[in-house]
Structure 1
Amino acid sequence: MRLGLIGYPLGHSLSPRLHQAALASFGLEGEYRLYPVEPQDHAGLTALVNRVRQEELDGLNVTIPHKQNVIPLVDELTPGARAIGAVNTLYRRGAQLCGHNTDAPGFLADLKRFWQPAPDLPRRALVIGSGGGARAVVYALLQDGWDVTIAAVLLDQAAALVEAFRTLAAGRVLDVVPNTSESVRRVLEGTTLIVNASPVGMMPHDDESPWPAGLSFPPGAAVYDLVYNPRQTLFVRQARQAGLPATTGLGMLIEQAARAFECWTGRLPAREVMWKAVEE
């Protein structure tokens, strides 16, 4: 098996450990390599994607900043990838090159592992960010029956996200506010889940937090940070210091990786194998 990851930068990636462990658990020979492709390198991105089409590679994961850039390069999108408007897994189906998104089901599975809200709690989430990761999170939450407010810096991008999911929201709350203390404070009442779906806080900028300065967390909420490097982000530390349950996105990484591996091999690896690989 010849697998890998497209993105930039990739120095923080744990994906090779996860997929090498999954391959070994099934006795499969193969390698999982990192393919750094700079944001503006369209020719390099196209050439790499075509290696899957030409069977030089068996599959690729896709991460920031190329989750949307690869869409014009595939023959077919799965329903989830089409709805989300972002791809994180490339695989062949017959002669077709398919783009899939395992981030949304991976996020929801790990969220439910980490935290189960009490039945009487409002299902109201604040999602920070408006890129490919945010699209997957918002899609997953809407499908699971949540109201969602997006706190964004790039308001035009966030507005496009809302418009894309207007039909899916089907009467539930789906709106946008600027990610500032004043604007976020106005929408915090009743919020029970806060998700950072932006890259803020990722190494090497681990001294940064997406949470607006001077703003208190809503009592009783849970906090989920898609960033998993460092293992405890500043955002997670802030939430825990406020007495809230909080976790990074390491579990989501494992869940989405397991589903991508299944696309390539038809086999779903044991989560214990993958957790062990990143904890060693």
Structure 2
Amino acid sequence: MRTFGLIGYPLSHSFSKKHFTEKFEQEHILDCRYELFPLEKINLLESLLDKPGLRGLNVTIPYKVQVLPYLQEMEAAAAGIGAVNCISIESRNGERYLKGYNTDAYGFETSLRPFLKAHHQKALVFGDGGAAKAVKYVLQKLGIEFISVVRTPAEGCFLYRDVTESLLDTHHILINTTPLGMSPNIESCPDIPYTCLTGDHLAYDLVYNPEETLFLRQAAAAGASVKNGMEMLYLQAERSWEIWNR
């Protein structure tokens, strides 16, 4: 039996387990299972890696960066991003061999491209964690300028209070990479002047639960195009499966 799973903490809800369990059932894949591994500390990964049959892991908050020292290799995109959300586990010369990938970048880029228009030249990225790293990597690849917006002062970043009407006049892509608005805290959102948004704006929320966050609801009310993180999640999950079965 091949085992795959998700590490992170806490893991109160998981798209990944539901997705892969249903996939295995629907496609009659009888030799695989997908489990949740809530690790309170990253050093608990060592004992998990001894689990018989473990062939791959997805990685979520807060370990997308902390997991890097445990890897023997990283694909180019993951190395460029500096964060990993998928790990393949193999045996090479009798030794365990972990290779890290970032499927978030693939999922984000593939789901974003159909929404891009000629005037989408500059973006505001809310948050600066592991997910934001993948988003910024894709924006750089696409030639889209961006500013990171955070809650506490950080070098090279704007604060939420710096998001003014004049800034929104020039930055037409808004991307939320924070957990703001995620269930159960559905009444939270990035603190920006939503009434300044227009039909030229695109609001993309990596949060998928609920499907329409307060961030997206307020952006849509102002006329902006909106997109949640569900398609990105499906795309990155399927890319993980491809990686584990190479």
Give TM-score, length-normalised by structure 1.
Answer: 0.79
Q: Cα distance, 1:47 vs. partner? A: 2.3
* Alpha-carbon distance in structure 1 between the residues aligned to 2:18 and 2:148: 33
Structure 2 residue matching 1:81: 3-state secondary structure: helix
* Alpha-carbon distance in structure 1 between the residues aligned to 2:33 and 2:15: 14
Structure 1 residue matching 2:87: 3-state secondary structure: strand
* Alpha-carbon distance in structure 2 between the residues aligned to 1:89 and 1:56: 17
* Alpha-carbon distance in structure 1 between the residues aligned to 2:227 and 2:191: 15
Structure 1 residue 205 corresponds to structure 2 residue 207: no
Structure 1 residue 230 corresponds to structure 2 residue 210: yes
Aligned residue among 235, 254, 265 for 2:245: 265
* Alpha-carbon distance in structure 2 between the residues aligned to 1:239 and 1:12: 26
Q: Cα distance, 1:179 vs. partner? A: 1.8
Amino acid at match of 1:81: A
Describe how 1:7-18 pairs up with structure 2 within 5 A: 7-18=8-19
Q: Cα distance, 1:149 vs. partner? A: 0.9
Describe how 1:89-238 pairs up with structure 2 within 5 A: 89-95=86-92, 96-113=97-114, 115-117=115-117, 119=118, 121-156=119-154, 159=155, 176-180=157-161, 183-185=162-164, 186-212=166-192, 216-238=196-218
* Alpha-carbon distance in structure 2 between the residues aligned to 1:240 and 1:214: 9
Aligned residue among 79, 83, 86 for 2:83: 86
Aligned residue among 69, 73, 77 for 2:70: 73
Does the aligned pair in 1 maintain the 2:150–2:160 contact within 8 Å?
yes
Q: Cα distance, 1:55 vs. partner? A: 5.2
* Alpha-carbon distance in structure 1 between the residues aligned to 2:116 and 2:197: 19
Please give the per-residue CA displacement for 1:203-233, whole angstroms capped at 9, x wherever unaligned: 1211101132676325410100001111211
Structure 1 residue matching 2:163: 3-state secondary structure: helix
The aligned length equals: 239
Aligned twin of 2:55 = 58
Amino acid at match of 2:139: L
Q: Cα distance, 1:97 vs. partner? A: 0.8
Aligned twin of 1:47 = 47
* Alpha-carbon distance in structure 1 between the residues aligned to 2:35 and 2:21: 10
* Residues 1:193 and 1:227: Cα distance change in structure 2 (over 3 Å): same
Amino acid at match of 1:179: Y
Between stretches 28-37 and 66-75, larger displacement belongs to: 28-37
Please give the per-residue CA displacement for 1:87-133, whole angstroms capped at 9, x wherever unaligned: 100103552211111001110101124x131x3x1411111000000
State the superposition RMSD in angstroms: 1.9
* Alpha-carbon distance in structure 2 between the residues aligned to 1:208 and 1:61: 27
* Alpha-carbon distance in structure 1 between the residues aligned to 2:132 and 2:153: 13
Structure 1 residue matching 2:148: 3-state secondary structure: strand
Structure 1 residue matching 2:170: 3-state secondary structure: coil
Aligned twin of 1:239 = 219
Query: Which has a greater percent of strand?
Result: 2
Structure 1 residue matching 2:57: 3-state secondary structure: strand
**Percent identity for Structure 1 against Structure 2:** 36
Aligned twin of 1:171 = none
Q: Cα distance, 1:46 vs. partner? A: 3.0
* Alpha-carbon distance in structure 1 between the residues aligned to 2:185 and 2:120: 33
Give TM-score, length-normalised by structure 2.
Answer: 0.90
